[in-house]
Amino acid sequence: MTDTDFKGLVCGARAVAKAEFDARARRVAAGLRDFGIVPGDAVALLLRNDIAVLEASFGARALGAYAVPINWHLVGREVAYIIEDCGARVLIAHADLLNAVADAVPAGIEVVVVPDAPDLQAVFRLSDEACAMPPGARVWDDWIAGLAPIEELYDEIPDSMIYTSGTTGMPKGVRRLPQTREGLAHTAEARSRINGVKPGMRTVIPGPLYHSAPNGYGLLSAHVADLTVVMPRFDAEGMLALIDRYKLSGAIMAPTMFIRLLKLPEEVRAKYDVSSMRFVIHAAAPCPTEIKRAMIDWWGPVINEFYGSTEVGHVTFCDSEEALAKPGTVGKRCPGTVAKALDDEGNEQPVGVPGEIYGRVGHFHDFTYHNMPDEWAKLDRDGLVATGDVGYFDEDGYLFLCDRKRDMVISGGVNIYPAEIEAVLVGMPEVADCAVFGIPDAEFGEKLMAVVQPHGGAAPSAGEIKAYLRERLAGYKVPRLIELREKLPRDDSGKIYKRLLRDPYWQDHETRI
């Protein structure tokens, strides 16, 4: 069997056929049941991108339990908080990640350890010592092999419980009510339309499975698609090689990945055949208009976008044709979705006037913040849920986003949206990526600062960057301070942790103005 014929799941050098994957997930369910897991319980997953994430998630769902993927960048205290908050009675973890937080794991929890495969070790540059199996560890494959697969699946199926990033306060677990299998089929159909995942598709997941969009896409793909390729970590040329090797046709991506692909030398891009791609969905952050147009020129009209949030779900959708006709839009409301731009008093804004986006998706089942029901109430306005984004609808019903509400800068009483500036700045050839944010200013309250990661060996001066921006933006949108850094703090999808750059400037101020 060739790579283009294989059906199942692939990650690095590991491959599991569809039937074997289903049997392993059912064995995981049997093991979790032996641990006492019942419907509504939580199973914590401290795992890098690997097939084990999906096996464990399906095993938990088979019992009506919540899989809780944990951002593996978190330190011991943060990991322990999530385990305790969700009430997990079982932790499934890669060896190196468990070793790093072992002292913080709550007493009495059952632990299953997944060995770090050699390709994972290589990608993350992990030493053998870091990946050593703890003494007496319950080893993943051995544990699964000793179990008989369950036959009956629980009728009500929960989504994964995703914990928010915790940029304000402690992370919150988004816990949705379980769905019947009939209801889940309806939801899966709606998600399939948006994500482009259907039988016969051969997909790739380059983003972290602890994030809501890649997680939902991964669960859908493993269930429906012919092939699901999980990348341990995004690598631009590596992704092109996988598309060529497996003749992949679908993917979920983030705009930063597009930028990295487009920054590859032309001779590298030309080495790989990407003509098999049929449907790429992207989300997670605004995509600069020039970047989207360049991807469509390269890959064809296969680039699609949805806008939404972990809490609300898929709010809008935009295909390639709409993106070219309405540059900058994130699309029109999805069927069955209500979405509005509201002012601070809850009044709907007129066409073209920005407001905070609130929405409700018809096929998405209700959610609450686990152990924090009062926090949900803060987001609710007459049944619509806040997304935290500022945007406006045009006369044709297309949504245009300005920025995250918390990222908006108010300088001298003027609202400035850093996302607009970032979208222009990444178009500068010497810039690989950037983050623009507000820092304290005694006169204006806030002033703009940009932290820039140069592309390759280029090192543009602050003056050159400002000149580039002045040609394309109003003067008040040009950052007053510009700093060059070799690397920016980011998650595995490439999304920048902007708060790590911004917070040090505000730590001596009582409030952010």
- Tell me: the pLDDT tens digits for 81-93? 999 999 999 999 9
Cα distance between residue 166 and residue 70, in whole Å: 12
Helical ranges in 169-251 per DSSP H: 181-195, 212-224, 236-246
Q: Which domains, ranges and CATH numbers included, belong to the chain?
A: 18-167 (3.40.50.980), 408-506 (3.30.300.30)
- Tell me: the pLDDT tens digits for 118-162? 999 999 999 999 999 999 999 999 999 999 999 988 887 788 899
pLDDT given for residue 191 in this prediction: 79
Cα distance between residue 224 and residue 188, in whole Å: 9
Among candidates 338, 336, 272, 324, which has minimal Cα distance to 295? Answer: 324
- Tell me: the pLDDT tens digits for 274-308? 999 999 999 877 788 999 999 999 999 999 999 98
- Tell me: the pLDDT tens digits for 349-369? 999 999 999 988 765 556 667
Strand 445-454 and strand 481-484: the pairing is parallel
Cα distance between residue 61 and residue 179, in whole Å: 11
Among candidates 337, 268, 324, which has minimal Cα distance to 291? Answer: 324
pLDDT given for residue 509 in this prediction: 61
Cα distance between residue 291 and residue 297, in whole Å: 10
Residue 394, classed as helix, strand or coil, is coil
Alpha carbon separation from 508 to 411, 438, 503, 504 (Å, rounded):
19, 15, 10, 8
Highest-pLDDT range among 52-66, 153-167, 169-183: 52-66
Three-state SS string over 416-476 comes to ECHHHHHHHHCCCCCEEEEEEEEEEECCCEEEEEEEEEECCCCCCCHHHHHHHHHCCCCHH
The residue with greater pLDDT, 345 or 143, is 143
Cα distance between residue 281 and residue 213, in whole Å: 10
Q: Phi, psi at residue 242, to the nearest 5°?
A: -70, -40
Question: Which residues have a Cβ under 8 Å from the Cβ of 350 and sit 6 or more positions away?
Answer: none
In which band, very low, low, confident or very high, does the pLDDT at 173 lie, cut at 50, 70 and 90? Answer: confident
pLDDT given for residue 158 in this prediction: 82
Cα distance between residue 81 and residue 106, in whole Å: 9
pLDDT given for residue 507 in this prediction: 78
Question: Which residues have a Cβ under 8 Å from the Cβ of 201 and sit 6 or more positions away?
Answer: 221, 224, 225, 226, 227, 249, 250, 278, 279
In which band, very low, low, confident or very high, does the pLDDT at 383 lie, cut at 50, 70 and 90? Answer: confident
The residue with greater pLDDT, 458 or 8, is 8
